[in-house]
Amino acid sequence: LALLLALVPLVLLVAAQADGGKDYTGWRVLRAQPASAEQLRHVEVLVRALGAEGASQLWRWRPATDVLVRGDVADAAMRFLGARGIAANVHVADVGAEIRRERSADAQRRGPRPQDVLRSYLRYDEMNEFMDDLQRRFPHLATVATFGRSYEGRDMKVMQISSGGGGQRPVILIDAGIHAREWIAPAMALYIIQQLVENPSNADLIANVDWHVIPLLNPDGYEYSHTTDRMWRKTRSVTDVPECFGADPNRNFDFYWGVVGVSWDPCKETYAGHEPFSEAESEALAMYGLGLRGRLRLYVAIHSYGGVFIHPWGYSHQKPSDYPKLVALGQEVAGAIRRAGIPRFDVGNCFEMLGELAAGGSDDWMKGVAGANFSYTLEMPVPSFTTPAVHIERYVVPTFEGFRAMGRFVSGVFGCC
Ligand code: ARG
Ligand code: ZN
């Protein structure tokens, strides 16, 4: 028996690799708190050096700096930080184990119907079934439309929720899943759809406003993150480098494209693409937004993670002229989410919230080109990219209070007919 038990970890290891996917066994997430410009430079040096070896990924700079590092270099990285007086701790001890936990929890909780959006992470096909089912049951409220096609040929779908008004009402446009690994974002979008369509107590939110919700903007990347690499972020298009795939669709919009916070290396996570709208997914969303010009009052891109609500601009330190209004609604939304039980949820622009500028994002495009009055990126208040399915509800339900606040605001200020 002892021998058998001793074999269990080995078998698990082999099983993890047998699916042909990228194995994160032993990889750690280190959380550092660089407290000065000098310490920040040291962290940059570390990230660049390990990144060049494919041994690390920078997940974010702020509110704390999270770096994914390969197991065999994790201790040395911690020593490097310690020697320079930089406070750091191990945020996730074994990313591979977290991924396996997430997967088994999902398998156990998976309900018989695709409607169980709080119980498991739906796949691309299941999301489409979920929307088709809602349209069948609520034909007067919910319409599924195809607005584009992904690089690998998947239909990109939007759920249009309207209780009337003949296409004259103001629109709230929401998308999720532009970054493949941010699984909690599509879960949030599906819950929004479900609540607006199925829950009569939310009737006030759709009485004089239309909601267009895109639950999965990057279906190719999302499916790849399920089948092959849990930490995949980008699209899956070919690049000039044969072994490197995809561009960051949120660096690919044609508004100050590439001016800051992007990589020109197709092997990097924030590769901007070889030209603006090189990625079919970004272009499809941009054109959809343009089609709503004149009605587009509020746009929200749902991402994870961080628990922050980001207003434009992402490409510059400059403040938009209506910046006080953006902050005011932002504070209202963040307050609603905090009151619903999320202790920390902050509002600011990209640099203030994440510690870096980044051009070519969907939020900047919707405000700068499509004319959205209000435009935000919402980073879900989860601790990491891996959130076991048992915890979907704990984060998605309180965050919905933020979307209720947005709905009430848009109805009050712009609502019509
Ligand atoms: N984490 C998001 C990203 O990297 C933040 C986007 C904020 N908006 C922006 N235009 N930079 O895409
Ligand atoms: Zn993201």
Helices (H) and strands (E) in the chain, counts: 12, 12
What pLDDT does residue 10 have?
46
Point out the ligand nearest to the CA of residue 252.
1
- Rounded CA separation 155/144 (Å): 11
Which pLDDT does position 107 carry in this prediction?
75
Which token pair is 72? Answer: 């065999």
Q: With contact defined as beta carbons under 8 Å apart, do 251 and 359 qualify?
A: yes
Is 379 annotated as catalytic? Answer: yes
Residues within 5 A (CB) of ion ligand 2: 179, 303
> Three-state SS for 236?
coil
Residue 411 CB–ligand 1 contact under 6 Å: no
Any ligand 1 atom below 6 A from CB of 306: no
Catalytic hit among 102, 198, 379, 393: 379
Distance 250 CA to ligand 1 centre (A): 7
The span from the CA of 335 to the CA of 347, in Å, is 10
In angstroms, what is the span from residue 377 Cα to ligand 1's centroid?
7
Residue 248, ligand 1, Cβ within 6 A: no
Residue 3: predicted pLDDT: 52
Q: Which residues of the chain have pLDDT under 50?
A: 10-18
> Tokens representing 15?
């099983």
Distance, CA of 150 to CA of 218 (rounded, Å):
7
The pLDDT value recorded for residue 135 is 98
CA dist 375 → 312, 323, 361, 362 (Å): 7, 11, 11, 9
Residue 386 has φ and ψ, to the nearest 5°, of -90, 115
pLDDT of residue 17: 46
308 lines ligand 1 (CB under 6 A): no
What pLDDT was estimated at residue 417?
Answer: 85
Q: What is the pLDDT of residue 408?
A: 98
Rg of the chain over all Cα atoms, to the nearest angstrom: 21
Cα 38 to ligand 1 centroid, rounded to whole Å = 25
- Residue 37 C-alpha to ligand 2 middle, in angstroms? 25
Confirm whether pTM is higher than 0.80: yes
Nearest to 313 by CA among 387, 366, 238: 366
